[in-house]
Amino acid sequence: MKDVATLLRLYRSMLRIRRAEEEIARIYPSDKIQSPVHLAIGQEAAPAAVCEALRSDDVVFGTYRGHATYLAKGGDLRRMLAELFGKSTGCARGKGGSMHLIDVEHGVMGTSAVVGTTIPHALGYAYALRLQSRDAIVVCFFGDGAAEEGVFSESLAFAVLKKLPVLFVCENNLYAIHSRLLDRQPPVSIADRARSFGIHAERVEDGDPLRIHSIAKAAVGALRAGEGGPRFIECLAYRWREHVGPNEDFDAGYRSRAEAQPWFDRDPVRLVGELIPSDERARIGAEVEAELKDAIRFAEESPFPTQDQLYADVFKDA
């Protein structure tokens, strides 16, 4: 990547995600955080690299492991942490928690605790864009487990039929909770399954954020130009922490530290950081730490929702 400005933004995005989640892991045992957390530490490359290729009017839909998606698209860090703390200043007024993040102003249309549910939501938004003749696009992030839901196949078929401006991004971290991918599916890549629908699909096996960005940029350009319908990227990744919670789980018996080590060695944050000058790394690091400190203070000092807010923002008045 020769564009230094893009490289700096990509590093900032991944570092912002990493440090925010490390602080969430640090704070979590104190019980200040009022919801379960599914951390994406180690999986920063795909959301950061893909969102770097987007415009402000493009939108994303994410999963319950959605902190990275939310932050990569420019989501408000203050409001995200306040949401985790259950505060009224949170992005869902303290009622959604970690798995239900939204920041419409920045194009984060929502994350969901139910596997696969945001895939058809993304299609609905993309269909509306097509009907309105707008050149914005939709990115739908989901995990390998979602590819086993019936709605996955149904949505791919519909997206191809209607030539929708949607980029499907499968963050394949090789496990659905504690169940290994190869114990659940035949040894065919999820990208190959997408190709069977006639979708242009690519697979990145080493988590290289620069390659993911290059592929995403080309896919976004093709979608915006209306060239051939949806696109698909399968990004292999590896979560460094347990499925839900702040700790490691290599003693749980379903995976080993030796299996994880190659992914530790290919830490995407470190690899991109090494491509930029040390003074720039230090400057970006200081700015991220200042933003994070401010956001934690904001979350801690914000009020909890009051009883009269119990039913607010729950139902839409007729």
Domain regions of the chain by residue span = 4-303
Q: Which fold has domain 4-303?
A: Rossmann fold (3.40.50)
> Is pLDDT at 199 greater than 90 in this prediction?
yes
Kind of pairing between the strands at 175-176 and 200-204: unpaired
pLDDT at 1: 52
- Summarised one tens digit per residue, pLDDT across range 132-164 is 999 999 999 999 999 999 999 999 999 999 999
pLDDT class of 2 with cuts at 50, 70, 90: low
- Summarised one tens digit per residue, pLDDT across range 270-310 is 999 999 999 999 999 999 999 999 999 999 999 999 998 88
- What distance, in Å, lies between the first and last C-alpha atoms of the chain? 51
